[in-house]
C-alpha cells in the first residue's frame, strides 16, 4: 500500500475524554475489548485507624505544614478500540483496522476523532471523511447517532466517487459499531437534530455495516504495531481471506532488499476473513529498521491485479 490520504482534523465541540483480533469469522465489526488496554486507577491504601499506630503528635496537612503534596495523580482509564481507516488495494480503496487506546469515558467520540482526522499510526492509512466535523456521538433510540457541527461538510467533494463515498460512510459505521460492540445502525443528524444524508449516502435513515468482503482489505496485520521493536523473534497476527488459506509474508531491509520469507495458514478462507499468526525468527537480522509485508496468495501467478498487502515498519534491536 502506498496510500497516504490524510483527512482534515475532526473538530469536537466538547472536550474529548479521550490487541489482538477476536474471532474473525464474524460478519460484523469487532467490539472494543473491555479487558485489553485498560489502565485501572491504583487502589487506595487502607487507612491507619486501628489504634496500633504510635501517636507522633498532632497531625497537619501539607498545606498547613508548608510541605509540598506528594499524593500521586490517578491515570486516566483507557480502552482499546478498533478504528477502520482507508488504504489502497488492487481493487481500489478498502478498510484497514487499527486498535487504538482511547479514553474509556467517551470511546465513541474518541474513535470518531481519530478516524475523521486520519490519525493512523500506519502512514499507509488515511481517511475519506475530509472536512466532516462531528459534534457528538451517542447511542440512543436503537441507533448510534452522529451529530454534525454546523460548519461540517455534508455533500461529497467533486473528486469523491460514489464508491469512495460509500466506503467513507462504511469506515464510520464499522468504527462506531466496533467500538459500541453493537449492530445498531449509524444515523447522522445536523446540529438541530434533523436527519441528513452524509456524502450523498442514506445516513439520515440509518446505515448498516456492509459485508466484510465487500469493504475490508482481504489481508491485514493486527500485530506488530507500526514502529514496534523486536529482539530474537517477532510475533505477527492478522486476518485474511486468501487462496487456500495461505498468507505469504516477507521482510525487507532499509534498501528494500528481501531478507526473509515464509507463510502462515489462516483458519479459513473464501467466505470471510479468518485469523492467522506466526512467530518469525529475526535473530539473524542485523540491528536496524525493516518492513514486514503480509499478502494474500496470488493463484494467477502475477497475471491478475496482484495481491492485497498490508505492511508494518519495525526495528530489530
User: In sequence order, which residues have a C-beta less than 8 Å from that of residue 277 and are 6 or more positions away?
Assistant: 235, 236, 237, 238, 264
Tell me what pLDDT residue 9 has. 34
The CATH architecture to which 219-316 belongs is Sandwich (2.60)
pTM of the model as a whole: 0.77
Distance between CA 239 and CA 242 in Å, rounded?
9
What pLDDT, on the 0 to 100 scale, is given for residue 92? 95
Phi then psi dihedrals of residue 126, to 5 deg: -155, -155
Question: Could you tell me if 211 and 27 are in contact, meaning their C-beta atoms sit under 8 angstroms apart?
Answer: yes
pLDDT at 303: 84
Listed residue (268, 236, 262, 238) closest to 249, CA to CA: 262
| Residue closest to 129 by CA, chosen among 140, 138, 139, 119 | 119
Look at residue 71 in the predicted model and tell me its pLDDT: 54
Neighbours of 256 (CB within 10 A): 7
Rounded to whole angstroms, the Cα distance separating 121 from 100 reads: 9
Tell me what pLDDT residue 66 has.
43
Assess contact for 100 and 114: CB atoms under 8 A: yes
Domain boundaries defined on the chain: 78-215, 219-316
What pLDDT score does 14 carry? 34
pLDDT in tens, the chain (317 residues): 433 333 333 333 333 333 333 333 344 454 443 333 333 232 233 333 333 333 333 333 333 434 444 456 667 799 999 999 999 999 999 999 999 999 999 999 999 999 999 999 999 999 999 889 999 999 999 999 999 999 999 999 888 999 999 999 999 999 999 999 999 999 999 999 999 999 999 999 999 999 999 999 999 999 999 999 999 999 999 999 999 999 999 999 999 999 999 999 999 999 999 999 999 999 999 999 999 999 999 988 878 899 999 999 999 99
The tens digit of pLDDT for each residue in 46-80 reads 333 333 333 333 333 333 434 444 456 667 799 99
Give the count of beta carbons closer than 10 Å to the beta carbon of residue 214: 12
In this predicted structure, what is the pLDDT of residue 72? 61
Give which of 146, 218, 219, 150 is closest to 177, Cα–Cα.
146
Amino acid at each position: 500500500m502506498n496510500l497516504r490520504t490524510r483527512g482534515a482534523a475532526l473538530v469536537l465541540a466538547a472536550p474529548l475524554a479521550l490487541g489482538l483480533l477476536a474471532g474473525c469469522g464474524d460478519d460484523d465489526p469487532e467490539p472494543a475489548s473491555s479487558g485489553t488496554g485498560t489502565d485501572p486507577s491504583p487502589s487506595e491504601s487502607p487507612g491507619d485507624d486501628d489504634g496500633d499506630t504510635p501517636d507522633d503528635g498532632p497531625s497537619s496537612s501539607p498545606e498547613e505544614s508548608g510541605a509540598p503534596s506528594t499524593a500521586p495523580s490517578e491515570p486516566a482509564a483507557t480502552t482499546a478500540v478498533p478504528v477502520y481507516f482507508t488504504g489502497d488495494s488492487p481493487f481500489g480503496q478498502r478498510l484497514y483496522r487499527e486498535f487504538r487506546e482511547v479514553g474509556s469515558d467517551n470511546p465513541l467520540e474518541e474513535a470518531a476523532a481519530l478516524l475523521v482526522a486520519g490519525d493512523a499510526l500506519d502512514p499507509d492509512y488515511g481517511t475519506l471523511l475530509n472536512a466532516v466535523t462531528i459534534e457528538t456521538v451517542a447511542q440512543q433510540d436503537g441507533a448510534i447517532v452522529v451529530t454534525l457541527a454546523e460548519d461540517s461538510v455534508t455533500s461529497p467533494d467533486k473528486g469523491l466517487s460514489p464508491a469512495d463515498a460509500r466506503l467513507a460512510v462504511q469506515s464510520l459505521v464499522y468504527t462506531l459499531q466496533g467500538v459500541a460492540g453493537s449492530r445498531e445502525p449509524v444515523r447522522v443528524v445536523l446540529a438541530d437534530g434533523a436527519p441528513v444524508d452524509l456524502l450523498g449516502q442514506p445516513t439520515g435513515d440509518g446505515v448498516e455495516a456492509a459485508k466484510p468482503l465487500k469493504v475490508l482489505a482481504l489481508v491485514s496485520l493486527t500485530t506488530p504495531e507500526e514502529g514496534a521493536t523486536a529482539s530474537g523473534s517477532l510475533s505477527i497476527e492478522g486476518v485474511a481471506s486468501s487462496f487456500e488459506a495461505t498468507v505469504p509474508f516477507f521482510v525487507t531491509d532499509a534498501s528494500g532488499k528481501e531478507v526473509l520469507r515464509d507463510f502462515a495458514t489462516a483458519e479459513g478462507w473464501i467466505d470471510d476473513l479468518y485469523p492467522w499468526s506466526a512467530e518469525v525468527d529475526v535473530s539473524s537480522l542485523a540491528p536496524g529498521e525493516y518492513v514486514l509485508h503480509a499478502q494474500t496468495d496470488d493463484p494467477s501467478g502475477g497475471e491478475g491485479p496482484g495481491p492485497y498487502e498490508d505492511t508494518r515498519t519495525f526495528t530489530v534491536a
